Structures are given as structure tokens and as C-alpha cells.
Amino acid sequence: MNENSVLARRIIPCLDIKDGRVVKGIRFVDLADAGDPVALARTYEAAGADELVFLDITATVEGRKATLDVVRAVAAELTIPFAVGGGVRCVDDVRQLLRAGCDKVSINSAALRDPQIVAESSAIFGRQCVVVAIDARRTEQGFEVVIDGGRTPTGKDAIAWAVEAERLGAGELLVTSIDADGTKTGFDIALTRAIRRATKLPVIASGGAGSIEHFVEVFEEAEADAALAASLFHYGEIPIERLKNELTRHGIAIRPKAVLAK
């Protein structure tokens, strides 16, 4: 394990937003309504979530920014760290999201199309505010980066892109396996581990959580710093408190409840 792998791990619910509502699908399609983002944000903080991620999943393909009103409403309910992504195309978009109340901004498609947005955002707002999100799909050659909500293959190797994102100034990586997303068959251990070992950045594993054992695996075998899930938490299949208790029982260090002054 590398030097950061002994740090306490984080549990992060993800709110995928479409038209102001939380939705969840399988492999980025077949979306179903999962609730009100403000109510869910409030519930997750009370349940002991370490952070929250808000992704406006159709903003990029619809050519618009993340809905700032929803960001403000969610941020007003939280004291835990809160990251927002979706439709970020320039440094001013990052600025507006941070002003709306989030603590970090997740940049996905735009980061690959114009890597300077990562470098400039990091220089202006600090590395800690910049999350580069990497959506990847398995190919015969390895793992390929896919953008535009999983719609556009890029031919870019995911591990190479993670290394480049670190060099550009990213402070964290959100790594989603499109193959595993929504399937509840487990995180992509190989993908997460390869990126975790290729960089020194904290890695959030995403896509495929379906059981407590999957979280144990991604922390123990892939050395992830954090694990993200959506429907598993939205539908109450695994309460966060129970998950954290089980992880502790497995000897995995879990963060105490975070408090962040707004």
C-alpha cells in the first residue's frame, strides 16, 4: 500500500440529479426517480455520511450548467463537505458553484477536452477544490475514458489520464466504472487499484456497490480512500451507520462524523 492508504476511509452518498430530482439508473441509463435532493442531503448528514456528491448528470449533454438553485438549497442543509459536478465548462463555472456553497467541484468531460481548466482552477481556488471525475469502461486494451455521461468514447487510457490529471493540479479523483454502475455486482477492483497505485491522489471508488462486502473489498483490495454509492443508500438497503459499524469490525479505519463550518 502507498502512504495514503492507512488514512481513515470515507463513505459518500451520491445524488445524481435530473430536472431537480434525484435519479438512479443502470450503466448511466434507464433512470428512475429516487427522491428530493434537499431531503436526502439532510438525511445523509444525520446518518453519518462523511461527504456528499451532487452530479447534474444531463447538464453536459444538454449544454447547460448545474442548477445553482438546487446546489444552494442542498448546501444550505449541510455541514459536511459537498462536491458538485455536471456541465462545468470553464473556470467561471467552477467559481459560480463554489460561491453557491459547495466545497469541491467535480470536472469530467471538460477536463479531458480542455485540460487547462484543471490547471487554472487549481491555481485560482486551490487543489483541494478540484475533483477530476473519470468514467471508464473496460476494453481489450485496458480501461478507456468515456465522457458526456457515458455516451462518448475517447480512446484515452484511464490510468494515463489519472496521472495527467494529478500533474495538472487535481486534488482528488472520482473513478466510476460504467460497466459496474448500478449493477450492484461490486466495485471494479482492478480499475480502482490501478489508478490508486498510479497516483498519489485520494481516489473515490464509484459504480457497483451492492453489499457491505463490496465496500470491504474496495478498501482492502483496491486501497480506495473513499467509496461512493447511490441507490444502495437512496432506497435504504444498507444504512450508513450499519455499514460503518461493519467496516470497523473488519478493521477498516472509518472517519468520525465530519463537521465543516460554512
Strand pairing report for 130-138 and 172-177: parallel
What whole-number distance in Å separates Cα of residue 147 and Cα of residue 157?
12
Tell me the residue type at 106: S
Q: Is 179 a catalytic residue?
A: no
What whole-number distance in Å separates Cα of residue 88 and Cα of residue 77?
23
What whole-number distance in Å separates Cα of residue 236 and Cα of residue 45?
14
Ranges of H-type helices in the chain: 37-47, 68-75, 91-100, 109-113, 116-125, 158-168, 189-198, 212-220, 231-234, 240-249
Which residue is catalytic, options 16, 50, 93, 188?
Answer: 16
Q: Is 16 a catalytic residue?
A: yes
Which region, left, alpha or beta, applies to residue 23 given φ > 0 means left and ψ of -120 to 50 means alpha?
beta
Of 76, 81, 31, the C-alpha closest to 56 is 31
Which residue is catalytic, options 50, 56, 135, 188?
Answer: 135
Instruction: Yes or no: say if 94 and 86 are a contact pair by the CB < 8 Å rule.
Output: no
Active site residues: 16, 135
